[in-house]
Structure 1
Amino acid sequence: MIVRILNEGQWTLDESAFAALNAHDEEIETAVDSGDETELTRALTGLLAEVRRVGTPVPDDSLADSDLILPDAEATLHEVREWLADNTSGEGLIPG
Structure 2
Amino acid sequence: MIIRILGEDQYILDDDRLDYLNDLDDQLMLALEADDESGYELSLDQLLSAVRGFGVRLNPELVVASDLVLPGPDTPASDVRAMLRGDGLIPG
Q: Normalising by the residue count of structure 1, what TM-score does the alignment of the two structures yield?
A: 0.92
Q: Match for 1:60: what amino acid?
A: P
**Which residue in the other structure is 2:90 paired with?**
94
Give 3-state SS (helix, strand or coil) of 1:4's partner: strand
Structure 2 gaps of 5+ residues are none
Give 3-state SS (helix, strand or coil) of 1:92's partner: coil
**Which residue in the other structure is 1:59 paired with?**
59
Pairwise CA RMSD of aligned residues? 0.8
**Which residue in the other structure is 2:39 paired with?**
39
1:11 and 2:7 matched: no
1:70 and 2:66 matched: no
Q: Match for 1:41: what amino acid?
A: E
Q: Match for 2:66: what amino acid?
A: S
Give 3-state SS (helix, strand or coil) of 1:91's partner: coil
Q: What percent identity do the matched residue pairs reach?
A: 38
Q: Normalising by the residue count of structure 2, what TM-score does the alignment of the two structures yield?
A: 0.95
Q: Match for 1:35: what amino acid?
A: D
Moved over 6 A (4+): none
| Residues 37, 76 of structure 1: 8 Å contact kept | no
